[in-house]
């Protein structure tokens, strides 16, 4: 399992969070069989590349989002993956701009 997690993290296909000294894999990015959800991978990849960390990424996926008219990215991706991916790309661009101007 550790090898799979490590490989997926290196490819920006999975993120983890630290909780009380333990590394956790947020369920929001997994299918019911425990594999990485390919649609969610398309959302997290640009955000990880932009420098978003695990907790911030989890919050972005699971909270209402202005780029999606108040809808939750992890829910939108189930019905309109393209729309969710565009929101992810736009947010990643915002992160990069903010980092460059800082």
Confidence (pTM): 0.90
CA 101 → CA 12, 36, 52, 93, 98, distances in Å?
25, 33, 16, 12, 5
**HSE toward the beta carbon, residue 49, CA cutoff 13 A:** 15
pLDDT at 102: 75
Residues 32 and 51: their CA atoms lie apart, in Å, by 28
Write the CA distances from 22 to 16, 17, 18, 25, integer angstroms: 10, 8, 6, 10
Task: For residue range 18-61, list pLDDT tens digits in order.
Answer: 999 999 999 999 999 999 999 999 999 999 999 999 999 999 99
| pLDDT tens digits for range 75-92 | 999 999 999 999 999 999
């Amino acid at each position: 399992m550790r090898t799979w997690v490590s490989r997926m993290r290196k490819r920006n296909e999975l993120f983890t969070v630290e909780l009380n000294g333990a590394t956790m894999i947020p369920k929001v990015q997994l299918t019911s069989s425990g594999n990485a959800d390919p649609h969610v991978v398309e959302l997290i990849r640009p955000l990880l590349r932009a420098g978003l960390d695990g907790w911030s990424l989890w919050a972005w996926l699971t909270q209402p989002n202005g780029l999606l008219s108040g809808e939750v990215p992890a829910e939108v991706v189930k019905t309109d993956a393209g729309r969710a991916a565009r929101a992810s790309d736009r947010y990643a661009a915002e992160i990069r701009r903010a980092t460059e101007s800082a």
